[in-house]
Amino acid sequence: MYFDYLNVLIFCAVGLGFVFVNLIIASFLRPKRKVTEGLETYECGEEPIGDAWIQFDIRYYTVALVYVIFAVEIAFLFPWAIVLGESFRGTGAAVGTGIGAFALIEGIVFIVILFLGLAYVWAKGDLDWVLSFSGPAYQPPQERARFLPSVHELQELAEARNDEGDGEGDEAEENEEAA
């Protein structure tokens, strides 16, 4: 019976293989040029402003949460509405169970509870885009820990190196020529 699950395993293996094999092949085939544009974040062809390692505003999470709640609500309400409509028309699976009005009230209760939650969030001011905050002002950390230098830092580094001395600048030019 384990062979029933074998196709899952194969699926996973193929999926993983597809990713890594392609990457490996690409690393052999692609030209290697050390230019700063190549290290930049790809943002649909636009020039990126700042880098990706920033803290997103917590407000986006609120939006996401509210979205998830109402998305789930919709997912519940569509089948509910269809079955309810059928039962009132006297067709479908719910015929004979006498559940119609009962289910209608239950659905309303469900929606009311959900809206109570929304009202709560609203009244607590969690939906305001500009939040009032009475504590000390936020102090961004001075030194930001990061895994990689940002593009701007790389550029600054390169410029600094160019400015430092001609000898070193020549070497840098030679390297570029060689590449």
Partner 1 sequence: MDRYLADLGLIAPELVLTLLSLVVLVWDLVTKGRDSRQVAYLSLAGLGVVAYLLLGQWGDLAATGGKAETVAFGMVTIDAFGTFFKLFTVGSLAVVILFVLADRRERKHGIGEYYFLLLGAGIGVFFMVSTNNLLLLMLGLELLSLASYSLAGFHKSERRSAEASMKYVIFGGLSAGIMLYGISLLYGLTGTIDLNEMGIADGSGWPVGLAAQFAQDPVPVAVAIVLILAGFAYKVSVVPFHFWTPDVYEGAPTPVTTFLAVASKAAGFAVLLRFVGALFLVEGVDSTVAAYGERIGLLIAILAAVTMTLGNLSALRQTSMKRMLAYSSIAHAGYVLMGLAAMTPAGFSAAMFYLAAYYFMNLGAFGFLLYFEGVNKSEDIDALKGMGWKAPVVSIVMVAFLVSLTGLPPTVGFYGKLLLFYEGVDAGLGWLVLIAALNSVVSLFYYFRIAKALFLSEPAEREAEPQPFFTGFLALLGVGTILFGIYTEPLQNWSETGTDSLGIAEASE
How far is it, in rounded angstroms, from Cα 103 to Cα 99? Answer: 6
DSSP 46-104: BPPSS-S-SPPPHHHHHHHHHHHHHHHHHHHHHHHHHHHHHHHHT-STTTTTT-HHHHH
Site for partner 1 in 81-100 (CB under 8 A): 98-100
How far is it, in rounded angstroms, from Cα 93 to Cα 80? Answer: 12
Tell me: does residue 123 bind partner 1 (CB under 8 A): yes
Tell me: does residue 137 bind partner 1 (CB under 8 A): no
Which letter does DSSP use for residue 37 in this model?
Answer: G
* Strand partners for 43: 46
Tell me: does residue 102 bind partner 1 (CB under 8 A): yes
Tell me: does residue 74 bind partner 1 (CB under 8 A): no
Q: How far is the CB of 21 from partner 1 (least distance, A)?
A: 30
Residue closer to partner 1 (CB basis): 104 or 154: 104
Choice from 12, 108, 119, 158 touching partner 1 (CB under 8 A): 119
How many other β-carbons are positioned within 10 Å of the β-carbon of residue 93? 9
Tell me: does residue 6 bind partner 1 (CB under 8 A): no
Choice from 101, 111, 157, 172 touching partner 1 (CB under 8 A): 101
Query: Where on the chain is the footprint of partner 1 (CB under 8 A)?
Result: 1, 98-102, 113, 116, 119-120, 123-124
